[in-house]
Every structure is written in structure tokens, then in C-alpha cells.
Amino acid sequence: MVVIHHLPIHGFLGKHILHRELFFFPIVMAALWFGLKASLITAVSASIFYAQFFYHNIDSSRISIAVVGLQVTGFNLMALLTGWMVNRQRRQRRERDFLNETFGKYVSKAVRDEILGGRVTLNGELKEVTVLFSDLRDFTRLVETTPPREVVTIINTYFKSMTEAINAHHGLVLQFIGDEIEAVFGAPVALEHHQQWAVDAALEMRTRLSRVNLDLANQGFQPLQHGIGLHTGKVVAANIGSTQRLSYALVGETVNIASRIQELNKDFDSDILISAAVRQGLERCIEMHPLPPVPVKGILEPLNLFSINPTT
Amino acid sequence: MVVIHHLPIHGFLGKHILHRELFFFPIVMAALWFGLKASLITAVSASIFYAQFFYHNIDSSRISIAVVGLQVTGFNLMALLTGWMVNRQRRQRRERDFLNETFGKYVSKAVRDEILGGRVTLNGELKEVTVLFSDLRDFTRLVETTPPREVVTIINTYFKSMTEAINAHHGLVLQFIGDEIEAVFGAPVALEHHQQWAVDAALEMRTRLSRVNLDLANQGFQPLQHGIGLHTGKVVAANIGSTQRLSYALVGETVNIASRIQELNKDFDSDILISAAVRQGLERCIEMHPLPPVPVKGILEPLNLFSINPTT
């Protein structure tokens, strides 16, 4: 950079005034590309070069020492100013990017983008979705008999794998509630065939659980068992809470029924239960068997449920 | 700004070279203070003024038109450059501040600061805290019989008021789980007398519920009823989940017992139940009556609970 801006100087020794302006450009460019340090180094180099140049041409030049001093001060002030601005801007950009990424981890990238785009309202939006609940069996017992740090290790191994399965099928993890996962397919962004994606996610969660258990066995932990419940219907997706503390959440009967279906796994000794509404939306044939209708508190019609056969 | 930098010009008409440099300062200053538009306006004003000045002094000046053109180009380039940088920096700062605020709303400011400060680990930290759970009675029935948007209105009215009561007593809302609130006193930042703060929060939640009910009655909704359960003990505060999706959460028996105590409100027809561990940490005398010991699954000793008397 310094070299480049010295080159033209030798060509027009006469037009001194013009060249003096050219000294500003490498300084500003160095600031823009490399930040404060580079701009200061360039400014000091330019100052030295400029002073030397002045010294050797003292006779032919009409400029006083005061002007040279001012010029040199100008170089360095400009370097300081632009360099400082560029550095501040870069730090703010880094902070913004870090915040953006961290926020995305805590509410999921999809929800973050909806929130920042102002598309999630306090009022809520009615959507047709498939809701997935999963829950670990005997987790309360595990918590009671295992040191809490190990519980965190076990649950994070499990949650990590399940989140990957859900994300891979365009699902969104809404919450971890103790050992429970609440996920949605079709919100915040509408999703075609959300029933199929949700069932495929549940099947992958089943496959992944055996891998998680192998991993846990290697670390000397007991294997885990879980139950998954799916239900399709209308929900309101909204910002729940207050302006001080918000949560992207789904509200509606569909959510409560999906949670209830998940619990029914215990009664039927199954691991994946889906409602008739989910089954109706499926695109592919999946082996399952119907269960006797289950009456659910607050709903007129009993629930028609299907248990998805093990893949063995 | 433009006026100020013209003033000294008239004083030293002879030292033309020196003044030319001075034109840069108002331009850069305008950029720093007022952004791109201001710096461009200043640059154009400076250019016009400078060109006029040159025109009137054409005889005494030794500068060619080419140099004046270069100088004017220099002013405007500098204005464009610094103005653009300042604008970009301001936009990034606004974006960062907006992100910071929004993130704070979704995980709470205290947790956000702990996360951004790198003090929340995946491994977890053992802390003594008081855990609060509250839950609305008959909310499932409300969801079933009320349009979802109205449910969102009702629940947000309730959550807003309860969050304020919890925040006012140094508590932290961890999650809204359907109609349930999970809050903690003593994490992420340690808190002295967390038992007392938690009980005071519960008492304020009771007071606030009657106000919320008045508000709801005015809007034509049914009054709400809730139950609150408190327990004190060791928990592990950790980032739960995966690198893709995280949640600041508490793990340990204390959490499960607090949730269980909350549920016991239904059995005792009470609204605030606290454990003996909470009672032991209280600083003030609060009217309460002991309940018969309750055996809880997985715990050897039955729970000694106290119901806090109504304030009427």
C-alpha cells in the first residue's frame, strides 16, 4: 500500500500540491481494509516519506515548515479518525453477529428471523400445524438417583440428537420442559405435508434413541426410553408473556391433545402414537395399527389413535 | 458548521495552502456528528465556497484549475467515505441494540447478560435457590371453550402481571409452560434471603391476581384461579439442549419437588404452599399453617408443607 502510493510521486515532482492530497488516500484505504493499526502505520510511513521529500526539495518548494507540520498532523489525525471509526464499526458488527447467533440458539433461527422481521405478534396467528411431544420414561427416578451434572450430560446427549432429528425434518423445537420436548411442524413458517414430516421425524427419533443409548452405555449410563405423541390441528402461534419477558409459543386445544397423546404411550406400552388427523395427512404408507378409541376430558368425540409399528 | 470554518479564512488570505486542509475538518466532523447527508451537504458547500474563493483570487493564486478540481473532488470523496462509514456504523449499532433488547425479552435480561458474559456453561453450576411454580386452575377447560386469540389475551394479561411481581422480588421467569410459570430466586445471580423474596413474590402474585380478575371481568372474561408451590434446595443451572438450540434451565430433584408441591394445592384447596426448607429460610413472620406430611414418589422422607393463610 505504502509502496503503491509512492510510485506516482516520482513522476510529477513539480506538482507538489496535487501529490500531497494523494497521501490521504492510502491512509484512508489502509483504515478501511485493515483497521486502526494499519492506518496509523501508513500515516507514520507517509509522514516520514513526506518529510524527507520536503527536506530534499527544500529549495524548489515554497512551503514553510509549519505547513509541512500541519500536513503531517493531518495525515495522522485522519489515520486516527478513520482507523478508530473502522475499528469501532468492526467491533459493533462482531457484537451484532454474535448476538444474532446466540439469540438464534435460544429461540431457534427460524423463530429469531420471524421475531426480528416483526412477523410474530402479541395477538397471535392461526395456523394448521402438527405438534410433537416427547417425554423420557422414568426420568424423575434418574434425577433422584444421579448427580445433577451427570443428569445434564445425559439429557444434553439426548436433546442434541432429538433436536437434530426434528430440525432435519423442518420441525422446530419450541421448548424443553424438564425431560420433555415440545416441537412443531408448520410454524412459524407454513410447511406442506407437515404431518408426514412430523411422522418421519418421530421415526428418526426412534432410530436415534438406540444410537444415543449406545453412546450412554459407553459412558456407563443406563439406556433411556421415550414416548412420542403427534396431533394435527389449528393453533394460535403467538408471543406469550409480557413486554419484559416473551416466549414464542402455541396456544390451543391441539397442543393439549398432543401432550395427552404422548402420555397415553404409557397406557398402550407404545413409543409413537399419532391421532387420526395426523394419519389423514400422510403421503406414504407407514405400518401402524389402530387402538381402541380413547375418551379425553373436555372433548366430545373420543380420540382415534394409531400406534406406529416398531421397525425391527 | 459551514459558517464556523469559513471564519478563519478571511484572517489569513495569504496562507492559502494551510486553509485548504482546514476544509477537510468540517466535512469529517459533519460526518461524525450528523452522518452521510450532513457530510455531503458540508462538502458541496465547501466546494462552492472554495471554488468561489479561487475565482476571486485567481491572479494572486498559483494553483491551476486541475488542482482546484482535485481538491473539490477530494472534499466530496472524503465526505462520501466518512459519511458512509458513520452511517453504516450507526445502523450496525442500532441493529446490535435492537438484538440485545429482543434477546433480553426472550431469555430475560439477567440470563442474557450471563450468557453473553460466557458465565452459563453447558456443564452447569450447582446453586442453592428457591424454585417457584404457578399454574392456572381449569385452564384446559378455558382453552377448549374460548377462541384461541382470546386465550392469548387472557394468558398475556395474567403472565404480564405475574412476571412483574416475580421481577420486582429479584426472581427470574424461566419458562411459561402452557399456563404454568416456572421461576427461580437465586439464579443466575446468587441472591441472599431467596426464600423470603420468593414468598413475598408469591404473596404479591396473590394480590395481583384479584386485580387481573377485575381487569378480565371488565373485558367480559371469567376470573382466574391459580396455585403456587415453592421449594428450596440445590439445583444445577445449565444450558440445556444442543449447540443448535439452547435453553437456560434448572435440573435437579428440587425442581421436580417444587412442581409437585404446586400440584398439591389442588388436594389441599390452597393457593400458596411452601416446603419446610423454604420456611426455615424466612426472615419475617408470615401466618401459615402446617399440613399433614405428604409422601412423594422417589423421596424417602414425606414432605412437610405449610399453607400460607389468606390475607383477608
Q: pLDDT tens-digit profile of A253-274?
A: 899 899 999 999 999 999 999 9
Final residue of a domain: which of B106, B136, B158? B106
Q: Do B237 and B286 belong together in one domain?
A: yes
Q: Indicate whether B226 belongs to any domain.
A: yes
A191, part of any domain: yes
Do residues B50 and B126 both lie within one domain? no
Q: Do A148 and B106 touch (CB under 8 A)?
A: no
- Write the CA distances from A240 to A271, B106, B155, B178, integer angstroms: 30, 10, 8, 9
* From B93, B156, B240, residue closest to A156, measured CB to CB: B240
> Is B84 in the A-facing interface, judged by CB distances under 8 Å?
no
In this prediction, residue B66 carries a pLDDT of 67
Q: Is residue A115 part of a domain?
A: no
Give the residue from A76, A106, A136 where a domain finishes. Answer: A106
Contact B291, A134 (CB under 8 A): no
- Domain co-membership, B174 together with B86: no
Q: Do B240 and A96 touch (CB under 8 A)?
A: no
Q: Are A160 and A227 contained in the same domain?
A: yes
Query: Looking at the structure, do residues A155 and A190 belong to the same domain, yes or no?
Result: yes
Inside any domain, residue B56: yes
Domain stops at, among B72, B106, B140: B106
Are residues A100 and A124 both part of a single domain? no
C-alpha cell at position A89: 464499526
- Does residue A215 sit within a domain? yes
Question: Do A162 and A81 fall within a single domain?
Answer: no
Q: Is B253 in the A-facing interface, judged by CB distances under 8 Å? A: yes
Q: Which range scores top for mean pLDDT: A302-306, B22-26, B106-110?
A: A302-306
Q: Is the ipTM of this complex over 0.90?
A: no
Question: Which range among A86-100, A107-121, A237-251, B6-20 shows the weakest confidence by mean pLDDT?
Answer: B6-20
A145 and A274 both lie in a single domain: yes
**Residue range A8-48, pLDDT digits in tens:** 434 333 345 555 556 667 777 777 777 788 888 887 887 77
- Whether residues B166 and B92 share a domain: the answer is no
Rounded to whole angstroms, the Cα distance separating A306 from A96 reads 47
Same domain, B89 and B135: no
Residue B116 lies in a domain: no
Domain count, chain A: 2
Q: Which of A16-30, A138-152, B204-218 has the highest mean pLDDT?
A: B204-218
Residue B278, domain CATH: 3.30.70.1230
Could you give the dihedral angle defined by the CA atoms of residues B275, B280, B283 and B286, in that order, rounded to the nearest 10 degrees?
50
Q: Give the pLDDT confidence score for residue A13 in this predicted structure.
A: 38
Domain extent for A16: 2-106
Is residue B97 located within the same domain as residue B208? Answer: no
Pick from A293-302, B62-71, B277-286: least confident: B62-71
**Domain identity same for B8 and B126:** no
**B16: nearest CA in chain A?**
A67
Contact B111, B248 (CB under 8 A): yes
Is residue A111 domain-resident?
no
B156 → closest Cβ in A102, A106, A240: A240
Higher pLDDT: A11 or B308? It is B308
Residue A152 domain flag: yes
Least confident of A5-14, B79-88, B120-129: A5-14
CB contact under 8 Å between A124 and B85, yes or no, is no
Of the candidates A106, A151, A246, the beta carbon closest to that of B251 is on A151
Q: What is the mean pLDDT of chain B?
A: 82
Place A1 in a pLDDT band, splitting at 50, 70 and 90: very low
